[in-house]
Structure 1
Amino acid sequence: MVGKRFAVLLCAEDPEYVKKKHGGYFGVFVKMLGEEGEIWDSYRVTAGHFPDDADIGIYDGFVVTGSCSDAHSNDPWICQLLLLLKKLNALKKKVLGICFGHQILCRALGGKTGRATSGWDIGIRAIHVSQSSSKALSSLKIPLTLSIIECHRDEVRELPLKAEVIGWSEKTRIEMFKYGDHMMGIQGHPEYTMDILLHLIDRLVQHNLIMETYAKELKVKVEDGEPEREAWKKLCINFLKGTSHDINNNNNNIIIF
């Protein structure tokens, strides 16, 4: 019997490296979040591929990915995504926003985003989780400080009304937020592996977004670091599905048995 059904709203094109090594960003997310018996669908929203209103109800939750685009811009697909997120909020659907997804979710709910005042944040960053979330994390056996991979130059500047900051870092004031029990944003990338981060650093140099000397410094800094991917995996699954059991499934299939 088929279990829950989820949709990944893809907000970035897949680099060839990520396609070949991980099955694209969709594959990366399914590896982290997928469980047996579930159905996972993908919608490339950058190309105007959105779920129909009639199909929204079949999903138990949505994941909004990172992007090279700015959450504060008004590209047609971004405006359409904002409308979809508002509908999902009205329906109290579970939505997990990652990086760009964190920012666009904030904007859809009435908050503000923009360029980070402290510039790029690339590498591994320690996130401090709020005391209000400590009880939930304790039940998951997750510490209150978690390291995560970061790669962003935009940030959430102002939260929507009724939203709560549940994580921050020395670099970014709002690393995580929660809106009700159905929406959560994470500025970092719990889904990223170290090889994806190193590949992205090279891409940023190729597109003249960062200097090569800075890229070399970053690679040295992250050499001995390691994000706490298993802890983030538990946290994200617990939010999205309301379950805290250990997950060890790394299946990349759309339907997982």
Structure 2
Amino acid sequence: MGRKRFGVLMCAEDSEHVIKIYGGYFRVFMKMLEEENETWDMYKVSCGEFPKDDDLCLYDGFVISGSCSDAYGNDKWICDLVTLIKKLDSMHTKILGICFGHQVLGRALGGKVAPSPSGWDIGVRSITLSSHVSFPSLNLPTKLSIIECHRDEIQELPKKAEVIAWSDKTGIEMFKYGHHIMGIQGHPEYSRDILLNLIDRLIQRNFIMEAFAIGAREKAVVLQPDTNVWKRLCINFLKNGF
């Protein structure tokens, strides 16, 4: 067996805090996903850095990260990412989308992404898994807690896609498309520390009000995300499948 190869399509710039504490978001993803006998590459797609078409067949799968940008936007790099997703879909390459990645997958495959009518979701939230999720080796519970930080959401699924998790805030917390694409609206890779720092940055940029941030911080402190279960679920999908 040769080394498996994966790529992270990075859609956001590293914050100073994440660089200092974790070595950057790429290292955050590596901590969650990397195993022995694998090669992982990073492409800063938000800066226009994409894998070459001729190299796509070398990869066993890709992860699309979160972003401060809107998945329904028409920046050149977002449109180029949509084009890349369509190519990877035609090749049946595994793709795992996280937050913005989840949303841009929905857009590329024919769904609709828009701001949530109920606004931001920031903190730790319990989501309900569909009984149709088939990871028999994982023995998943019916509910999982995950860190959330998003204002947009998938409002209409692509044809042939299936909702596999939802919450009382967001109707499409997870979806699958065929056996090779899965989107997760929350952040399985985040730690509580990353979330709290992100809340502070959102306040500084006037994206959220201090009163809202107080509630988000309280949820982050009181509730615990199911980090280890998410790690196993994401690894199982990328390397084994549904």
Q: Into which bin does the TM-score normalised by the smaller protein fall?
A: over 0.9
- 2:34 counterpart residue number: 34
* Contact persistence 1:103–1:187 (CA under 8 A): yes
Q: Distance in 2 between matches of 1:160 and 1:217?
A: 33
* Gap runs ≥5 in structure 1: 245-257
Post-superposition CA distance 1:137-190 (Å, at most 9, x none) = 443022110000000000001000000000000000000000000000000000
- Secondary structure at the aligned position of 1:20 is classed as helix
Residue 183 of structure 1 aligns with an amino acid whose one-letter code is I
* Contact persistence 2:180–2:241 (CA under 8 A): no
Backbone CA RMSD of aligned residues: 1.2
Residue 189 of structure 1 aligns with an amino acid whose one-letter code is H
- 2:78 counterpart residue number: 78
Residue 204 of structure 1 aligns with an amino acid whose one-letter code is L
Q: CA deviation at 1:216?
A: 2.0
Within 5 Å, give how 1:50-129 maps onto structure 2: 50-129=50-129
* Contact persistence 1:63–1:96 (CA under 8 A): yes
- Secondary structure at the aligned position of 1:57 is classed as helix
Residue 154 of structure 1 aligns with an amino acid whose one-letter code is D
Q: CA deviation at 1:237?
A: 0.7
* Contact persistence 1:137–1:144 (CA under 8 A): no
- Equivalent pairs counted in the alignment come to 242
Q: CA deviation at 1:2?
A: 5.0
- 1:8 counterpart residue number: 8
Residue 46 of structure 2 aligns with an amino acid whose one-letter code is T
Residue 174 of structure 1 aligns with an amino acid whose one-letter code is I
- 2:204 counterpart residue number: 206
Q: Distance in 1 between matches of 2:135 and 2:2?
A: 29
- Secondary structure at the aligned position of 1:139 is classed as coil
Given the superposition, is the C-alpha separation of residues 42 and 113 from structure 1 closer, same or farther in structure 2, using an over 3 Å criterion? Answer: same
Residue 63 of structure 2 aligns with an amino acid whose one-letter code is V
Q: CA deviation at 1:221?
A: 2.5
> Out of 180, 183, 202, which is 2:181 matched to?
183
- 1:153 counterpart residue number: 151
Q: CA deviation at 1:40?
A: 0.3
| TM-score scaled by length of structure 2 | 0.97
- 1:46 counterpart residue number: 46
* Gap runs ≥5 in structure 2: none
Post-superposition CA distance 1:99-155 (Å, at most 9, x none) = 00000001100111010111000000111000111xx34430221100000000000
Residues 1:163 and 2:158 are matched in the alignment: no
- Secondary structure at the aligned position of 1:14 is classed as coil
* Contact persistence 2:128–2:144 (CA under 8 A): yes
- Secondary structure at the aligned position of 1:223 is classed as helix
| TM-score scaled by length of structure 1 | 0.92
Q: Distance in 2 between matches of 1:218 and 1:197?
A: 9
